[in-house]
Amino acid sequence: MTALTLAACQYKIDLIESWEAYVLHLTHLVHEAVDRGAKLLLLPEYAGLVLAGQLDAQTRSDRHGSIAGIQPLIPAWVELCEELARTHSIVFQPGSAPVLDPDGQYRNRAYLFGPDGLIGHQDKIIMTRFEREQWGIAAGKDGLTAFDTPLGKLGILICYDNEFPMLAHTLAEQGVDLILAPSCTDTLAGAYRVRIGAQARALENQIAVLSSPTAGTAPWSPALDENRGRAALYVPSDYGMPPNGIYAESESDAVEESHWLITEIDLDTVRRLRTEGQVATRRDWPEQFGV
């Protein structure tokens, strides 16, 4: 594999009040990254909730009303994302959205698109307290998927899922070299939990993890009113990699407009660490269970 240009967005939760304006917004955002050479684009967890701006003020200001209200817009959103991926021949993960399943449960779902259209989706596996206790979002029931894409085999772990070692390890065992980590955190503590988890998963499995957070303040949204975090690419701390494991990172954790982090990496250099690195954490993983 040659060098791969990745784009992870610090995504501002703007109030966009019509479908036409949203199409222009997302199209412009994608064009901006593609014009800078990006072949893989990542938006954050719950980026799809920006669709709630198209609802009336009373509905979009209600936590449960807003997720119910966007359901008729989800098919058009999926179609738009698919069209953008096809048009630009990119791999596109446009963040996640709460999607109502036939069993009557909402799930936090991240779709993945490629040059040939929809590749598949990954639901969040483990819910945060807010999702579980206040929002009524159900856990994913279909397990983890390693997606075959033109850029290699990818996995998706949504926000909190990055804090659980066996999820990333399962994807690593399925051959994933890059995990996409869309996230949504309203405090620096939350942002650091995701960061520390993502860095640990990169270290343990000798893979790369690309993270994209929500950004800015959105007083119109009861769920996404405050957002902190940096877009970043994390790698193992080993030969040829940054000593701190941070391959690239946004300048600030507090911004009030969307920013792309664009970085280039050859995943072969990460993969080689499994056989030629200073340590062999993936090879030695089973040894911890023999004590």
Residue pointed to by tokens 């992870």: 8
CA 59 to the chain's CA centroid: 26
Note whether 44 and 213 are within 8 A (CB).
yes
Question: DSSP alpha helices (H): ranges in 7-61?
Answer: 19-35, 57-60
pLDDT given at position 290: 86
CA angle 25/68/222 to nearest 5° reads 70
**DSSP E strands, the chain:** 4-12, 40-43, 91-94, 96-100, 106-114, 117-123, 137-138, 147-149, 152-156, 178-183, 208-217, 226-227, 232-234, 246-249, 259-265
Spell out the per-residue pLDDT of the chain, length 291, in tens: 579 999 999 999 999 999 999 999 999 999 999 999 999 999 999 999 999 999 999 999 999 999 999 999 999 999 999 999 999 999 999 999 999 999 999 999 999 999 999 999 999 999 999 999 999 999 999 999 999 999 999 999 999 999 999 999 999 999 999 999 999 999 999 999 999 999 999 999 999 999 999 999 999 999 999 999 999 999 999 999 999 999 999 999 999 999 999 999 999 999 999 999 999 999 999 999 987
The answer to whether the predicted template modeling score (pTM) of the entire model surpasses 0.85 is yes
pLDDT given at position 196: 98
pLDDT given at position 156: 98
pLDDT given at position 1: 55
